Structures are given as structure tokens and as C-alpha cells.
Amino acid sequence: MIEIAILDDYQKVALDMADWLSLSDRANVRVFSDTITDFEQLVARLKPFHVLCVMRERTPLHGDLLRRLPNLKMIASTGPVNASIDTETTKELGITVVHTGYDSTPTIEMSWAMIMALARNIIGEVNSVRNGGWQQKVGVGLRGKTLGILGLGHVGGGVARIGQAFGMEVIAWSQNLTPEKAQANGAIWVPKPELFERSDFLSIHMILSMRTKGLVNAEALALMKPTSYLINMSRGPVIDDQALINVLRARKIAGAGLDVFDIEPLPVDHPFRSLDNVIATPHIGYVSQELYKIFYSDCVRNIGEWLDKNANN
């Protein structure tokens, strides 16, 4: 029997999202809902398994870890790419890596949930009502405001189109963006400094790479207006963590909506958990029933096909 580990099932729903029983005559499936950061403990947990089903980048599979897992034959990753898997080492060790389908819609929707929550102080108002209070602040309307998009790909383009529906002016920049590509998504290309200077709401949708790590630094943040909001639904390291904490504490921007962080889960003593001008959510931009069903159903199919192919090996 093949031993399969489903990792980082935070909500304990993986077995309900796909037909794992279809593998039961050939494999044993075990689910883990916690994330282990201690290296030796992680090695001990994963060592018995032939197949790892990983949810995005929640547990990075670096080369030093992969080399300590002699039984590992396959990694079934959710999403079309996973930068936290050392693919050079998997090739070296002969470990098969497969991916699943994806849908940008949940992240686009969550981006707008974050923008609306910031604009209308929804978290503060809800907490006020729960604590026996009433209205706290005057909200900010979206019509006529400037929406800045840093990264106009599938997610950024979807966010931009909804911004148009709200009557916002949409501007955009990224390293490879051209005025023509921006216009095709209903946005106006602007230089990077102008993006930060003009945006009332600046929404980040960048793939993490060496070029984008720390792209939103102290210099860029200093260009933003004290009435502007920053939203990050992409990856935490795109922003210089300390630089953002500094401008939030100094009230040099109005606030931030953050769904991604340098370290996940976010440390319990991190300032993003306590700053009153931050809405922090636990990387749930893509977390929806519909996308989970795509992820886990594709994982089951991929594992089944791999078992079929290797039945006589």
C-alpha cells in the first residue's frame, strides 16, 4: 500500500472535497492539519510517506528536506505552480511533481472584500456593535477615487475591471507591463513612483521572485498619501515588512489590508496582529469551497494516474 500524507489541511476539510476513497484499495491516506516548522520534527513526520499532497506553499519542500525522505516518490501540489518546491532536487531524486487547475476568482473577490472593509471601517464598526457601541468613523466612497494595481495579471486584471464598475480611475504598473496591455484591462499605465503617489487604494498582485522581493520598500511607501490604503493579496515578501510597519505606526498611510506575510502562520506577537489600522487575514484569498474542490479533486486524479502508471514498479 502507498502511504499518502495530506499536509496543512487547516480547516480539516480535504477528505470532504474529493473522492479519496477511490484510492483506498491502493493507498492509505493520512491528514495533518498543523504546520511543523522544526526541521527534524518535519523529517520525522514525513519520512514514512511515498506521496505528499501539499496545499500551496504552506510547507516548503526544500532540497535538504527532500534528501531526508527516502520513501518519497511523488508530490501532488495544489495550484499550477509552487515556488516552494525545490524542483532541481526533485529531478535529481526522481520524484514526480504534479500540479492542479486553478481559478483566480476567489482572490479577486477577496481583494474587493478587503478594499471595502478598509474603506468603510467594517471591522471596527462590527466590533463596536458587538461591544455595545455604535458608529465610529465616516467611511470613504470609491467612486472617483484612484485604484492602483501593482501587477496586472489574471488577478490584478480582474480587480481592475471591478474598479471600473465602481467608477474608479484605474492605473497600473509592473516591470513588464506596457501601456497597450494596461489599456486592454481598462487601466492606464503609469511609472512606478506615480502609481504610489496617486493611488487612493493600491492593490498588489505580483508573483514572488528575485525581482519582486522587497519591491514595495520604504522609498515607495514614502510616496503614498496619508489617506491611502495598501492591499496585499500576493505574497508577503513583496513588501518590506518593517518599512510598512513604520509607515502604519506613524499614520503616514491610512491603513493596510494584508492576507499574506513573510512568515506563515503569522507569529502571535507580530505587529500586524495588533495595529489598529491593519486588517490581517490568514492567507484566505484563494480559500473557497469551489477552488478547494478543484485542488483536491485534481490531486486525487493525479495520484490515481500516477498509481496506474507505476502499478508494476
Catalytic residues: 235, 264, 283
Instruction: Please calculate the CA angle 208-233-182 and round it to the nearest 5 degrees.
Output: 75
Q: Which of 94, 78, 70 is nearest to 8 (CA)?
A: 78
| Residue 126 · residue 150 · CB < 8 Å | no
End-to-end CA distance of the chain: give it in Å, rounded.
13
Give me the sheet containing 169-173, strands edge to edge: 188-189, 169-173, 146-150, 201-204, 229-232, 255-258, 278-280
Compute the distance between CA of residue 99 and CA of residue 307 in angstroms, rounded to an integer.
Answer: 16
Query: Amino acid letter at 299?
Result: C
Q: C-alpha distances in angstroms, 62 versus 5, 84, 85, 168, 263?
A: 17, 7, 6, 43, 16
Cβ(130)–Cβ(136) below 8 Å: no
- Determine the Cα–Cα distance for residues 49 and 39; give it in Å rounded to an integer: 16
Q: 262: closest CA among 221, 214, 207?
A: 214
DSSP assignment of 246-311? HHHHTTSSSEEEES--SSSSPPTT-GGGT-TTEEE--S-TT--HHHHHHHHHHHHHHHHHHHHHTT
Largest Cα–Cα separation, the chain: 68
DSSP code at position 171: E
